[in-house]
Amino acid sequence: MLNPINILEYEQLASKNLSQMAWDYYVSGAQDEITLNDNRAAFNRFKLLPKVLLDVSQRDLKTTILGQSLQLPILIAPMAFQCLANAEGELATAKVAAEFGIGMVLSTLATQSLEKVAAVSQNNPLWFQLYVHRDRGLTRALVERAYAAGFTALCLTVDAPLLGKRERDARNEFVLPQGMELANLVSLKDIEIPHAYRESGLFKYFAEQLNPALTWKDLEWLRSLTPLPLVIKGILRGDDAIKAVEFGIKAIIVSNHGGRQLDGSIATIDALSEIVEAVNHRVEILVDGGIRRGTDILKALALGAKAVLIGRPILWGLAVAGESGVRQVIDIYKDELDLAMALSGCASLSDIDSSLVRKNYE
């Protein structure tokens, strides 16, 4: 398979290019991986109802998120430790995001510093994903650095007071390879992913460093640190979405952390409609999890998402061919979405609505 033509083929190639520890870290979900697998299966339960005899000779895939222009309704999801896939890691990802004019969300646990990533992003929409540490001074410093570097939004992950039990990582006693570091944290505090006997070092890191006492009231403190719009990632309920609006959140990412936190939780595409209805256009809604085809993006947009976040497939591209691999992965999504829109009678994203999808409950 020298020339992969879809995301599944990229995944198959990536499995051969990564160490067992890196592959298991990237691909795994929590416990029995029920939610991980259902994220993908849930898209297949939605069927498309295409419109016909409409002029689709020209298609426009552009949109805006938080007033920022995107050439495609896609952002690259925050993913830790991208240098496990390729030495350039997050730098390669950011360069491709800028080339395509799509958004990127950089993880707190990146293996390239936020300043270096910002420097190659060419003023492209760039958000910083934040984990709130027990050390509030450390959290404040991260937020201030992101703002100073030119990031355009702060994305708070709220579904990880503790790390989900990822049994593959525990079996491997996951730890970063020698010479790889938490690039955003080493300059602020001597923090690393520790080795843990019969456990994931990342699980131990979360237990020791992150703040499990975070509540809605802490959002006011976070908003006081920066003028950047605050986005919440990890909402799966309509009532939580309403609270987010009440606390001044500007966008919500419907997410179950790629099936890596609470196993058995709802698939994100199944949760999407309730949240869209609950917020009633007051904030923008995005969704991630299990998106492997352009038709998946079309379904998500039809159900009310303004854009989607792509995660693991970016890592597959990195592992197969570095920057070029990421470029090819985004190209696949672009071409597939463009074709799906044409075949559904949609010349622009504004033509996509809920009439295009129906859920099959069988």
In a domain, 130, yes or no: yes
In a domain, 357, yes or no: no
Q: Residues with Cβ < 8 Å from 235, sequence gap 6 or more? A: 158, 241, 244, 252, 253, 254, 255, 275
* Residues 287-302: tens digit of each pLDDT: 999 999 999 999 999 9
CB 154 within 8 A of CB 228: yes
* Residues 193-251: tens digit of each pLDDT: 888 777 887 878 888 988 999 999 999 999 999 999 999 999 999 999 999 999 999 99
> Is-catalytic flag, 257?
yes
Residue among 133, 195, 257, 281 flagged as catalytic: 257
In this prediction, residues 316-329 reach a mean pLDDT of 98
In a domain, 358, yes or no: no
Provide the percentage of residues in the chain whose pLDDT is more than 90: 91
- Binding-site residue ranges: 25, 78-80, 107, 129, 131, 157, 166, 233, 255, 257, 260, 288-292, 311-312
C-alpha dihedral, 85 to 90 to 91 to 95, nearest 10° = 100
* Whole-Å CA distances, 170 to 80, 82, 165, 220, 294: 17, 20, 8, 36, 34
* Structural domain that includes position 283: 7-352
* Structure-model confidence comparison of residues 175 and 190, the more confident one: 175
pLDDT reported for residue 191:
79
Burial zone of 227 (CB within 10 Å; 0-12 exposed, 13-18 middle, 19+ buried): exposed
In this prediction, residues 144-172 reach a mean pLDDT of 96
In this prediction, residues 320-345 reach a mean pLDDT of 98
- What is the DSSP code string of 198-251? TB-HHHHHHHHHB-TT--TTHHHHHHHH-SSPEEEEEE--HHHHHHHHHTT-SE
CB 28 within 8 A of CB 258: no
Which residue is listed with tokens 């129906």? Answer: 358
pLDDT reported for residue 362:
58
- Binding-site residue ranges for FMN: 78-80, 107, 129, 157, 233, 255, 288-292, 311-312
Supply the mean pLDDT for the chain. Answer: 95
Q: What is the CATH number of the domain that holds 272?
A: 3.20.20.70
pLDDT reported for residue 316:
98
**Which of 75-79, 143-147, 187-191, 199-203 shows the lowest mean pLDDT across its residues?**
187-191
pLDDT reported for residue 1:
57
In a domain, 360, yes or no: no
In a domain, 33, yes or no: yes
In a domain, 46, yes or no: yes
pLDDT reported for residue 196:
78
**Total domains in the fold of the chain:** 1
